[in-house]
Amino acid sequence: MIFTTPILAVLALVARVSAAPSPDALLARAPPVQIKTLSATQIAPFLNKANAPFSPNSSLSARDSEEASHRLTSRTIVGADNRVLWPSPDYPYSAVGKLTFSSGPACTGTMIGRRHVATAKQCLPSLSSPWSAHFAPSYYDGERLGGSNAIAVFIPNSLTPVGVCGYKEDWAIIILADPIGDTVTGWFGSKQINCTAQKNIANWFHMGWPADKGGNRPYRQEAITVTRCDECAPGGPLETDADVLAGQTGGPLWLWENGSRYLYGMASYGAVGRNYFASGPNFYGAIGAAYSAYP
């Protein structure tokens, strides 16, 4: 039997910290987000299509640090804190941001298109009353790159099994009012894991805004290992040894592949000695559906 806790549950006990300029001020002007549910039938035409990454500024990309670190073959035990303050606003870090909501705790999101942000479904406030959301890329004690408000969000409909298979479907794709990916942030590509070839290799990255470190600065972790990825086959959830706490929920699990970054999952649920990332074919199909509805 597996005992797990939603990462967000921890944050409910932690007071929100605000910094200037406050995302709350930007949120006050945000429109209510339209909830769009996607059925398996709506997702089906877009299955098995990978999405290419984009950097608006490839000459300034932080390529070298990841090229070096993706070759690491081991890391310390999950019990040690391997998160490192990561102030760089260069791509790809420009494409990861802090998500704030008009109610509830903050999360992390990743640009996966010109106006498309991947996060965890559990981050969203109640679906029965209106709420708003703001994405602040590369947030560091305040807005740095120019964020955008959410106008819509895609979530799975009738794809919410319980337990491990439920973590797999803990995804959401937020649509921003502005296509900041084109000029400001760039975006990650996205791919599904090949469990046979890609597990038990300490070459994955994660980034987020951990509440236990104040929630206002990005922390990155490298040399993460995916230890299981076929518990709810195919393709997820991704069980890892990442150090993930509240505030990092929804944050990316990514790979550096020959200079390109690919998102494979979003931080979902924590358990003793391991953390799960949402992933799998439905999420990747939903990206295509979101692109189609909001180019």
Q: Give the binding site for ligand NAG (CB under 6 A).
A: 56-57, 60, 89-91, 94, 194, 196-197, 257-258
Closest to ligand NAG by CB, 201 vs 293, is: 201
Within 10 A of 32 (CB to CB), how many other CB atoms are there?
A: 14
Q: How far is the CB of 50 from ligand NAG (least distance, A)?
A: 11
Closest to ligand NAG by CB, 74 vs 258, is: 258
Q: How far is the CB of 167 from ligand NAG (least distance, A)?
A: 22
Residues 6 or more apart whose Cβ sits within 8 Å of residue 88: 62
Closest to ligand NAG by CB, 212 vs 230, is: 230
Helix (H), strand (E) counts: the chain:
8, 16
Residues 6 or more apart whose Cβ sits within 8 Å of residue 86: 93, 207, 218, 219, 220
- Residue burial 262-290, b: 16+ Cβ < 10 Å; e: rest: bbbbbbbbbeeebbbbbbbbbbbbbbbbb
CA 49 – CA 192 distance, rounded (Å): 9
Closest to ligand NAG by CB, 55 vs 108, is: 55
Closest to ligand NAG by CB, 39 vs 57, is: 57
* Phi/psi of residue 41, nearest 5 degrees: -65, -40
Q: How far is the CB of 256 from ligand NAG (least distance, A)?
A: 9
Q: How far is the CB of 32 from ligand NAG (least distance, A)?
A: 29
CA distances from 291 to 60, 155, 179 (A): 27, 14, 12
CB 39 within 8 A of CB 169: no
Among positive and negative, which fits the CA dihedral 260, 262, 267, 272?
negative
* Furthest CA-CA distance within the chain: 49
Closest to ligand NAG by CB, 94 vs 108, is: 94
Q: How far is the CB of 147 from ligand NAG (least distance, A)?
A: 13
Q: Is cis: bond before 53, omega within 30 of 0?
A: no
Q: How far is the CB of 243 from ligand NAG (least distance, A)?
A: 25
Closest to ligand NAG by CB, 52 vs 60, is: 60
Q: How far is the CB of 61 from ligand NAG (least distance, A)?
A: 7
Closest to ligand NAG by CB, 219 vs 262, is: 262
Q: How far is the CB of 16 from ligand NAG (least distance, A)?
A: 27
CA distances from 138 to 108, 174, 211, 225, 276 (A): 10, 17, 16, 24, 23
